[in-house]
C-alpha cells in the first residue's frame, strides 16, 4: 500500500508534463489522451486526468474546442496555447535537469552500494 502510494505521487508530479507533451504533437480529446497515457503505463485510472486538464486550462496553458463526433455527442478537443508551448519548453529543460540529478543521486545512494 505504501509503495503504491509513493508511486502514485511520483506519477502525478509528471502527469501535467506528459499531457502537455501529448498535446504538443496533436490536438486530442480526453479519451485519446487517456489512451496514450495508458499505453505508457502512466495512469491507472482516468479520473486523475480531468482535474488536471481543467487546471491547465484555467492556467492558460490549454484551450479547447468542440468537434462533432461520428458516434455520440460532440467532443471536447484540447490543444496547446502559445503560452502552453512556451511553458512546455521550460518544462522540457527542467525535466532533463531533474532526471539527471535524480539519476545521479539514485546511483550514488542505491541500496547496492551500501
Partner 1 sequence: MKKTINISLGGIVFHIEEDAHQKLSDYLTAISNSMQGSEGQSEIMADIEARIAELLQPKVNDFKQVITITEVQEVIGIMGDPQEFATGTSDAKKEEPINTSEKGRYQYGQRRIFRDPDDKVLGGVCSGIAYHFGIDPIWIRLGFGLSFFLGGFSMLLYILLLIIIPKARTAAEKLEMRGQPVDINNIRKIIEEDMQDFKKKAKDFGDDMKNWKTRSRTQQFEKNVGDFFSSLGHGIGGLVGGIVKGIVTFIGIILVIIFSCMFIALVASLWTGMNVVHIQTHDGHMMAYSVHSLFTMLAIHGREKMMLLVGFFLFLGVPLIALILRFGRAIMGVRQSPRWINMSLFFVWFAGLIILLGGTMFAAKHFSINGHTTDEAKFTLPSHSNTLYLKMPDRNDDEDVSVRIDSLNFYVSDNDLFRGNPSLCIVTSPDSNFHFVLNKWARGTNAEEAKDAANSIEYSFTQRDSSLQLSPYYQISDGAPWRTQKLEGVLEIPLNKAIDMPIGIDHIICSTVHHQHKHLGGHKWMMSQQGLVADSTKNN
- Of the two residues 73 and 111, which places its CB atom closer to partner 1 in the complex? 73
- Of the two residues 9 and 113, which places its CB atom closer to partner 1 in the complex? 9
Choice from 39, 58, 70, 110 touching partner 1 (CB under 8 A): 58
Strands (E), the chain: 62-67, 75-80
11 scored as a contact of partner 1 (CB under 8 A): no
Question: How far is 32 from 79, CA to CA, in rounded Å?
Answer: 12
Question: How far is 8 from 96, CA to CA, in rounded Å?
Answer: 21
- Of the two residues 8 and 91, which places its CB atom closer to partner 1 in the complex? 8
6 scored as a contact of partner 1 (CB under 8 A): no
Choice from 76, 89, 102, 103 touching partner 1 (CB under 8 A): 76
- Residues 16-45, mask of contacts with partner 1 (x by CB under 8 A): --------------xx------------xx
Contact between 51 and 32 (Cβ < 8 Å) = no
Residues 63/69/72/73 CA torsion (nearest 10 deg): 40
- What are the cell numbers at 91? 518544462
- Of the two residues 32 and 91, which places its CB atom closer to partner 1 in the complex? 32
Amino acid at each position: 500500500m505504501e509503495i503504491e502510494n509513493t508511486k502514485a505521487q511520483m506519477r502525478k508530479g509528471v502527469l501535467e508534463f506528459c499531457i502537455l507533451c501529448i498535446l504538443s504533437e496533436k490536438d486530442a480529446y480526453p479519451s485519446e489522451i487517456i489512451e496514450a497515457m495508458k499505453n505508457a503505463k502512466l495512469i491507472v485510472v482516468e479520473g486523475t486526468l480531468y482535474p488536471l486538464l481543467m487546471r491547465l486550462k484555467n492556467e492558460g496553458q490549454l484551450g479547447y474546442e468542440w468537434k462533432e463526433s461520428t458516434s455520440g455527442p460532440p467532443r471536447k478537443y484540447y490543444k496547446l496555447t502559445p503560452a502552453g508551448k512556451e511553458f512546455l519548453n521550460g518544462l522540457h529543460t527542467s525535466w532533463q535537469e531533474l532526471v539527471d540529478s535524480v539519476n545521479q543521486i539514485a546511483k550514488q545512494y542505491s541500496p547496492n552500494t551500501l
